[in-house]
Chains A and B, each alone.
Chain A
Amino acid sequence: MLMYVLRRFGVALLVMLATSAVVYFLLAVGTDPLEELRASSDPNREELIRERIAVLNLDKPLPQRYLMWLQGAAGCAVPGMTCDLGQTIDQASVAGALQSGLVQTLRMVVLASFLSMSLGTCLGVVTSLRQYSLFDYGSTFMAFLFFSLPIFWLAVLLKQFGAVKFNDFLQHATIGIPVSIGIGLVVGLVVAGALGRPLKQSALIVGVSVVAHVAILQAISATGWLKTPSLGMHFISLLGAATAVGVTSVIAGLRNRRALFSSLTMVAIGAAIYLPIQQLLNISTFGTLVILFFVTIAVGLVVGHLFGGYDRGQNRAVAAVTGVVVGGLITVDKFMLHWEQYTNHPNIKGRPIATTGAQTPNFNGGSLWMNGLDLFTHVALPTTALVLIGLAMYSRYARATMLETLSQDYVRTARAKGLSERVVVVKHAFRNTLVPISTVIAMTIGGLLGGAVITERIFSWSGMGSLFMSGLTNADPNPVMGFWLVTSLMAMTFIIIADLLYAVLDPRVKVS
């Protein structure tokens, strides 16, 4: 095992060495840092050219320049040598630029990849269970539609409708009855499709959905809820209870009453501490939330354990998951309570959803909640764009793998044993589906950092992508090489991790 890992890293190192040379030489051949200066009518043209040559060492032969760069880069890995990734054309440190670029890019892609992975996998599993249904065809069509949309175009649409028009809408925030009916219809159709009931039941679902949506949306419109949103204890309890039922039915089955009651107990605890915990939340930092997250899980485990019964493990899992969801609802509620204050902030001017940048300039909300909202309004559009596009790959992959698993002999055996469909799907099929999916996920994480170049540019985020782009346009080799170094290192590492993960998850596979 150890030898295997070492050998893989050795090979990766060689690959990186070779590609670094290729990238460096292609850059040197393909770009010309003196371009803009040469055709200049500036009286000190000569001097500017001389200066640029000195900064980029253009008077030295190409192999020597490469070796100089390599030496500096190697210094970052080898102790005792100085780490030097060189300077940009305007003499800023590349290492510093990489650091800030990395932070920005992570902000943009982490949430997006988490959402597209989880939503994509869920969608894939559901469509595989309803294979060749209208829902299957519909979601396949949508997935491919978004997948094939160029991101720059999708981004323009999102900005126009998700930001400009939505912000205009927020000025009045009234929803018409036809729009309410439309939303109800769409949601009803999706739900009916996902549940795959007979026509009569499906029609009932759609009808109920339309009526419910008209009632709810009109209530929202009349109370100005969009301007002053909140959930409050009642809705947290209601949503929590629904979550409890949903989570229990998937993980333990509703027949397991102990599991159901332990998760409902978590909802009750959440509702009970809703008011007292507001004081703590008012002074919370991000760290507090992380601590609360783990506390919630611990409480869930304890509650599940105390309910006892023949399968405490299920109780614990159900309670913990429900607890996390209820905690999430309380957090979302807290953000909502700050929404009005946020939109009325002098720097926001009542137009919250942003189309450009990672934060409102010169904005300091003073609390986790205000700054969190600012981050949210800036992340919303790029994340949506990335998720819509990323969804297709994960859902297709999950669907294909799930279908393959469902046709396996052991699934048939499980069904023949008389296990419930829930147990067959969740325990026997889905778990095995996760093995290949997890390796795909590991590999795409490796490619994430370099993958959002266009999205970054369109939304004016100064992450890794913009570093790469500006390096290319300015014929500036060092930032491009820095970008290459980070992204290829990530890709290499995660490919190795994916291989190892496969072996860990699937006992039939051995690494050697």
Chain B
Amino acid sequence: MKHTKNTALLAALALTACMSTACTADRSSETSKPSADSGKVADTATASAAPAKDGKKSITIAETNAFTSMNSDSKTGNKDINSKVGAAMFASLFTVTPELKVKINTEIGNIEKISDSPLKVKYSVKETTKWSDGNPVDAGDLMLAWAFNSGYYDSYKKVKGKETGTQYFKYAGSKDGLKDSLLPVIGEDGRSITVEYTKPFADWQITMNLPSTPAHVVAKRAKLADENALIELFKKTPKGNPEAPVEEPQMAAVAKVWNEDFNFKSLPDDKELYLASGPFIAKEIVKDQSMTMVRNDKFGGTPAKLDEVTVRYISDVNTAITALENGEADVIAPQPSADTLTRLDKLKPKGFNVHRGDEMAYDHIDLTIDGPFKDKAVREAFMHCVPRQQIVDLVVGPMKPGSKPLNSQLFVSSVPGYDKAIAANSSSDFNAVNIEKSKELLNGKTPAVKILYFNGNPNRLNSFTLIRESCKKAGFDIQDGGQPKGEWTKTLVAGGDHHASIFGWVSGGVGNSALGQIFKSTGGSNFTKFNSPALDQLAEKLAETLDPAEQDRIKTEADKILFEERYGLPLFQSVGVVAHKENVKGIQYMPASPGVWWNIDKLTVG
């Protein structure tokens, strides 16, 4: 018995010792040869990935969302990730630079204004610009782009809840401008079209680009003979008339293909659905995991420097940072918080670079021109007690030390016109809290002010708390109008019993639509009943001004009016961050869409 027990004991010990450490073996006894260079110490195994052994230059970019569609112009495909990878796969007539300037890509084609009155814009594509199946990108593609951008054929109307007519292309963007254009004239070379506007349109340069959906594929899938048949269809179909809608079955078939066929989460069997015209072409998609693109040899412009770009979908911020640290991602752009940035800064010495900059999103406090704030003096008194620098120090300071409040309603700080605008507007009057001035303007009154904000957002809550503390001293009776997710937007839009609201806008960066949309008395996103005839006039004028310098002048003027009329105050721009391995070259912080993807063709590893 004892003997048995001891044997068992020894066996168990030997077993656990071996299990917990594993034992070495004589490799010569193996017949299989697992590796071509077995025995050699792995020299590529270093923390900062040198170009891989096979000499391929590849990088992996982590993104929050999963790819869903090649057609980011459609409502279904209109997601940030789709336009990001789209920037890698599709040729573009223009690029927005990190300085938020529009740059025409002349190696792809051109956008020229050939007449001011009436406004005529010529879009042309160079002969070298081709789809990856060899088919040229030409007038058919431009016509398709124009058709969905303009909604020319739509006859949809909704009166008193009753819907009539059809909306063909479910385009995600705004149809302003192009909806007032005439049927384009196709150039003789077959690679250009000229669009004539019936009204001048300020954003003519950025309103239309090449499509990500090849016209010849759309035509084929819609059972048309070829691309020319599609062009003929566009030519012969009359402009949609909402008053007397006519069914256009062929157009409906084309639109259905455009709306639906290019949406997929893994590569379809039909290669024509993912043809590329840009520097990269899709090679593999693992559903909800990753997407790999390789260099497109048929690209007409300067070839991309990288051989391969992989996107990994990582929704959790901390997971993305660990993935960067562990070499599973080379570039990440996580939603920053003070913790995120501390973690990233700690990685710097281990061979990582961190860029931070301003985002296009900004928080602001708007005053409802009603109740106590009907009186301009009360609005001014309130603006004097908003502690903007303190809010910035608390919310943005930990992420980006030395930040200043945003000082313009119409320009974000990254835009060239910003400095001129703040010199002209009276924002400097509100740089520091001035309780005395505030008290003087209130003249003994103690108006009750209820502030609406989303109380699930700590930044907004902080802003509110600081404003309440400060404005109490001036005599305001500040009431907490914070509301949860889902509720606050309803109240904001419907107009509740609040007198002020703290929330965020996202600036488009380029373009001129904000003035008319937000601040015009009839603007669709004007939630404050703000009404200034002078500003309305400027907004109308801006929409029809073609000269960029003149556009900036009008916006500067409007910005001045907004401060003079004591509209409210911009608070701060959000902070954005990009972190990447040192050996990834060419990364530049880009505040607007498509983020790091804006110069994906110029990135390399070295």
Contacts and interface: CB of A to CB of B under 8 A. Distances in A.
Interface of A: 30-32, 34-35, 38-46, 48, 50-51, 90-92, 100, 104, 156, 159-160, 163-164, 167-168, 170-171, 183, 187, 190-191, 195, 197, 205, 208-209, 212-213, 216-217, 219-220, 223-225, 227-235, 238-239, 242-243, 245-246, 249, 254-255, 275, 278-279, 281-282, 333-334, 337-341, 343-344, 346-347, 349-351, 353-359, 361-362, 457-460, 462, 466, 470, 475
Nearest to A358: B289
Contacts of A337: 30, 32, 34
A344 B263 contact: no
B185 interface: no
B574 to A, nearest CB: 15
A211 to B, nearest CB: 10
B443 interface: no
Contacts of A229: 22
B49 interface: yes
Contacts of A362: 283-284, 290, 292, 308, 310
A99 B525 CA distance: 41
12 contacts: A35-B489, A46-B524, A156-B318, A212-B13, A239-B15, A242-B11, A279-B31, A350-B45, A356-B319, A362-B284, A466-B288, A466-B315
Given A39-B503, A43-B513, A458-B319, A344 B23 contact: no
B391 interface: no
A361 B75 contact: no
Interface string B37-60: 111011011110100111010001
Interface stretch (B86-94, B220-228, B320-328): B320-328
A91 B263 contact: yes
Most buried by A among B7, B77, B158, B286: B286
Contact of B15 (A39, A242, A351): A242
B565 interface: no
B66 A462 contact: yes
Contacts of A227: 41-42
Contact of A350 (B22, B42, B291, B325): B42
Interface residues of B, number: 104
B158 A205 contact: no
A234 B26 contact: yes
Given A90-B76, A254-B4, A243 B15 contact: yes
A212 B19 CA distance: 12
A160 B322 contact: yes
B323 A356 contact: yes
B53 A41 contact: no
Contacts of B503: 39
Nearest to A349: B49
Contacts of B54: 346
Contacts of A232: 25-27, 29-30
B424 interface: no
Contacts of B20: 183, 187, 213
B606 interface: no
Give the 5 A-B residue pairs with the shortest CB-CB distance, closest first.
A350-B45, A232-B25, A462-B288, A361-B290, A346-B52
B174 A356 contact: no
A195 B12 contact: yes
B18 to A, nearest CB: 6
A32 B490 contact: yes
B122 interface: no
Nearest to A332: B22
Given A213-B17, A227-B41, A232-B25, 12 more contacts: A41-B525, A43-B524, A92-B68, A163-B322, A163-B326, A171-B45, A208-B13, A235-B23, A242-B15, A279-B31, A349-B52, A356-B329
A220 B22 contact: yes
Contact of A216 (B17, B25, B490): B17
Nearest to B485: A35
A230 B312 CA distance: 32
Contacts of B329: 356
A224 B45 CA distance: 14
Contacts of A233: 25, 29
B327 A230 contact: no
A460 B314 contact: yes
Contacts of B506: 41
Most buried by B among A164, A217, A460: A460
B16 interface: yes
A202 to B, nearest CB: 11
Given A51-B75, A254-B4, A278-B32, A45 B524 contact: yes
Contacts of B312: 356-357, 361, 460
Contacts of A160: 322
A48 B524 CA distance: 13
A239 B319 contact: no
Contacts of B327: 167, 349, 351
B492 interface: yes
B602 interface: no
A32 B21 CA distance: 54
A90 B66 CA distance: 11
B173 A44 contact: yes
Contacts of B35: 338, 340-341, 344
Contacts of A209: 13, 16-17
Contacts of B16: 187, 190-191, 209
A39 B492 contact: yes
B477 interface: no
Contacts of A34: 489
B328 A341 contact: no
A351 B325 CA distance: 11
Interface in B432-467: none
Contacts of B315: 457, 460, 466, 470
A17 B449 CA distance: 48
A7 B558 CA distance: 73
Nearest to A341: B35
A358 B286 CA distance: 10
Contact of B27 (A190, A230, A282): A230
Contact of B21 (A220, A351, A460): A220
Interface in B260-282: 260, 263, 265
Contacts of B23: 216, 231, 235, 238-239
A466 B313 CA distance: 12
Nearest to B49: A349
Contact of B34 (A41, A208, A242, A338): A338
A397 B17 CA distance: 28
A168 B9 CA distance: 37
Contact of B323 (A170, A171, A355): A355
B322 A231 contact: no
B117 interface: no
Contacts of A353: 326
A164 B20 CA distance: 21
B287 interface: yes
A40 B173 CA distance: 13
B514 interface: yes
B517 interface: yes
A39 B518 CA distance: 11
A42 B171 CA distance: 13
A120 B288 CA distance: 33
Contacts of A219: 24
B75 A48 contact: yes
A343 B39 contact: no
B289 A359 contact: yes
A462 B313 contact: yes
Most buried by A among B170, B327, B503: B327
Contact of B44 (A243, A249, A350): A350
Contacts of B338: none
Contact of A32 (B25, B172, B314, B489): B489
Given A38-B492, A42-B174, A361-B310, A355 B45 contact: no
B8 interface: yes
A320 B413 CA distance: 74
B256 interface: no
Nearest to B79: A90
